Amino acid sequence: MAPTGEQHLLSTEILNRGVETSGPDAGSMAFSVRVRRRLPDFLQSVKLKYVKLGYHYLINHGIYLAAVPVVVLVFGAEVGRFIREELWQKLWDTTAAYDLLAVLTFVVVFIFTLSLYFFSSPRSIYLIDFACFKPDDDLKVTKEEFIELARKSGKFDEASLEFQKKILESSGIGDETYVPKAIMSTENISTMKEGREEASMMMFGALDELFEKTGIQPNDVGVLVVNCSVFNPTPSLSAMIINHYKMRGNILSFNLGGMGCSAGIIAVDLANDMLQANMNSVAVVVSTEMVAYNWYPGRDRSMLIPNCFFRMGCSALLLSNRRRDYRRAKYKLEHIVRTHKGANDASFRSVYQEEDDQRFKGLKIRKDLVEIGGDAIKTNITTLGPLVLPFSEQLLFFSTLIKRYLSGTTKDKGGVTNPRNSSPASSSKPYIPDYKLAFEHFCIHAASKTVVNELQRNLGLSDANMEASRATLHRFGNTSSSSIWYELAYLEAKGRVKRGDRVWQLTFGSGFKCNSAVWKSVRHVEKPSTNNPWLDCIDRYPSEALSQSSQVHPVNFN
C-alpha cells in the first residue's frame, strides 16, 4: 500500500457527539475518534475452497516431479527382471535381439521423460543479494520532534496535532525514524520536483549499494521492476533508473503503481515470470514509496493516520536464473502465493485515495479495514498451507476442520458462531497449524503495532518469531513495500540465517491484497560487516521497547 495508505488495519471511526455545552469549547462541534485495536480471529472460520486452491498450486508445481519416481521404479523392475533371466547370456541367443530392443526402447523413454521434466519445470530463481537504503542522520526525528515540526509548519490545528501525538504514542514507532525535510515546510510539497528528488535519493542509494555488494554492472541487468504506489511521474521511475545508470536499450522494464504495501512481492513475482521466459538473465527489483509526496496537510483524522506511520525506506534486490549464480546466491525462491479481494466493493474501497472537504489529497481508511484485511490474510495463509506445512500438521488441520463441518457449526447473520446442537464438538475451534514447523524465520509486514500483535496471536507465533517485524517498525517505521527486506536484513545482522532455513515474507495492502513469498537459504549467511542498515544499532535489539510493544491495550481517542 502506499505509504500513506496502509495504515494498517488500524480502523478509525469518527463520531459526531453534537455541540459542546460547557467548557472552553462551548458552542462548537464535538467529535470523538474510536480506534479498533484488534484483528478478527480469522482462523476461526476456514473455507475449504482456499485449502483446495492450495493443493491445486501443489499439484501444478509437482506433476512432473511425481512422474519421475514412477519411471524409476518401472525401470528398476525391468532391469531386475533381465538380471534374473541372465540378460548377458541371452544377448547371444535368438531372442536377444528382442530383449535388447526392449531395453533400448525403455532407456529412450526414460531419458525423454527426464528431459521433459527438466525443460518443463520452472527454472530455479536465486536471490543473489539485496540492499536497504539508510537515510542520513540529519533526516532522523524523534516522536516529539515530529509533532513540533508539524506544529511549526502551520498546516495543522491543535486538535489534529493532539490526535497525531496520541497515535504516535501507541504506534510502536521509535525515536530514530526518517522523514524528508520538505514535509515540515510551510509550502506545498506534493510537487513532482520534490517527489523526484526523494525518489532519486532513495532508489539510487539502494541501487549503488546493491551493485557494490554483488559486483553486477548496471548494463548486465536484463529485467528491471520498480514498484511505488502513489508517486508515478512521467517518465516513470524505472526510466529514471535506466537513464541514471545508462542501462542497455533492450532491457525489460516495468513500473508498478497504485498497488500498496504488498507490491514488493508482486514485483518479485513479475520478475520471476520474466526470468522464467528469458534464460541466463538477472533482474533487479526496487521497492519504495515517497513520503513527502504522500503527505496529507488536512484535518480529516482518517487521512492523518498515514502521516504517523509511514517513513522513508527503499529496497533493491538482485535475482538470477543462471545456474552459475547458485554458489554465490543467498536464497532460492520456493513459493509465491497472491490473494486479491478487489472484486468485492468494500475491499476495493477500504483504502481509497481521494480529496477531503478542503480539497487536500490523501488516503482514506475505511472503518471496516480490520475485517477486510483479516479475511484477505486468512485466505492467503489457507492457500499457502498445503505448500509448506508438514503432513502431520495438515492431517491435524483437516481432521478438526472436517469434524467441525460435520458437527454443523454455522454462523448467524451477525457473524457469531452458533452450533446447530449443544454438543462440545459443534463449538470446537479448527486446529490452527503450527507455522513454526514450516518456517525458521518470519518477515511479516511491519504495518503497525496492532497488526503485528494480532497476527502473532492468530498464528500462534512467539515474540522471537515477531522480533524482526517489531524491531523494523520501531527503528525505521512503516516503510511500505520495502519493510520485509529491512526485516530480513535484521535477521542477517543477527547472524541467524543458516543453510536450509526457510523464510516467510507476508505482506498486505490496498486493493485489498495479501501476498506471501517463501525463500530457502542456500548457504549460511555470515554477519555483515558493511552495507547493512542495522550495523549501528543491532546490539540494542531486542530492547525493552519491543517487549512493551507486544502488549495490546484498547485505546479510545476523545
Tell me the pLDDT tens digit for each residue of 140-182. Answer: 999 999 999 888 888 888 999 999 999 999 889 999 999 998 8
Question: Is residue 552 in some structural domain?
Answer: yes
Lowest mean pLDDT among 268-282, 422-436, 489-503, 543-557: 543-557
Both 58 and 202 in one domain: the answer is no
Q: Which position among 132, 227, 255, 261 bears the catalytic label?
A: 261
Question: Is residue 5 in some structural domain?
Answer: no
Q: Which position among 232, 278, 340, 531 bears the catalytic label?
A: 340
Question: Is residue 3 in some structural domain?
Answer: no
pLDDT the model gives residue 484: 97
Both 231 and 82 in one domain: the answer is no
pLDDT the model gives residue 2: 42
Domain count, the chain: 3
Q: Which position among 478, 514, 515, 532 bears the catalytic label?
A: 478
Asked whether residue 518 carries a pLDDT value surpassing 60, the answer given is yes
Total-model pTM = 0.80
pLDDT the model gives residue 6: 39
Asked about 445 being catalytic, the answer comes back as yes
Question: Is residue 4 in some structural domain?
Answer: no
Both 384 and 397 in one domain: the answer is no
Concatenated DSSP letters for 404-421? HHHTTEEE-TTS-EEESS
392 versus 227: the higher-pLDDT residue is 227
pLDDT the model gives residue 28: 47
Asked about 8 being catalytic, the answer comes back as no
Are 179 and 312 in contact by the 8 Å Cβ rule? The answer is: yes
Q: Which position among 445, 465, 514, 515 bears the catalytic label?
A: 445
Residue whose C-alpha is closest to residue 125's, from 334, 324, 265 = 334
Both 188 and 201 in one domain: the answer is yes
Both 371 and 497 in one domain: the answer is yes
Both 296 and 284 in one domain: the answer is yes
> What's 499's domain CATH number?
3.40.47.10
Q: Which position among 132, 474, 515, 532 bears the catalytic label?
A: 474
Average pLDDT (20-30) is 49
Asked about 61 being catalytic, the answer comes back as no
Distance CA 178, CA 482 (A): 14
Distance CA 290, CA 366 (A): 22
Question: Is residue 6 in some structural domain?
Answer: no
Lowest mean pLDDT among 79-88, 286-295, 527-536: 79-88
Question: Is residue 110 in some structural domain?
Answer: yes
Both 194 and 299 in one domain: the answer is yes
Q: Which position among 228, 255, 308, 441 bears the catalytic label?
A: 441
Both 368 and 299 in one domain: the answer is yes
Residue whose C-alpha is closest to residue 170's, from 471, 449, 481 = 449
Both 303 and 339 in one domain: the answer is yes
375 versus 203: the higher-pLDDT residue is 203
Asked about 244 being catalytic, the answer comes back as no
pLDDT the model gives residue 80: 57
Question: Is residue 296 in some structural domain?
Answer: yes
Domain boundary pick from 120, 139, 170: 120
Both 235 and 296 in one domain: the answer is yes
- Assign 36 a pLDDT band (cuts: 50, 70, 90): very low
Those residues with Cβ within 8 angstroms of residue 457's Cβ, 6 or more apart along the chain or in another chain? none
Asked about 474 being catalytic, the answer comes back as yes
Both 40 and 57 in one domain: the answer is no
Between β-strands 140-141 and 177-178, what pairing exists: parallel, antiparallel or unpaired? antiparallel
Those residues with Cβ within 8 angstroms of residue 36's Cβ, 6 or more apart along the chain or in another chain? 10, 11, 12, 13, 367, 370
Domain boundary pick from 101, 120, 139: 120
Average pLDDT (90-117) is 66
Domain boundary pick from 402, 427, 452: 427
Average pLDDT (461-490) is 96
Highest mean pLDDT among 81-95, 112-126, 173-187: 173-187
State which residues form the domain around 452.
11-45+126-389+433-557
Tell me 134's DSSP state: -
Both 15 and 77 in one domain: the answer is no
In three state form, how does the secondary structure of 443-491 look?
EECCCCHHHHHHHHHHHCCCCCCCHHHHHHHHHHCECHHHHHHHHHHHH
Question: Is residue 483 in some structural domain?
Answer: yes
Residue whose C-alpha is closest to residue 386's, from 57, 125, 132, 31 = 57
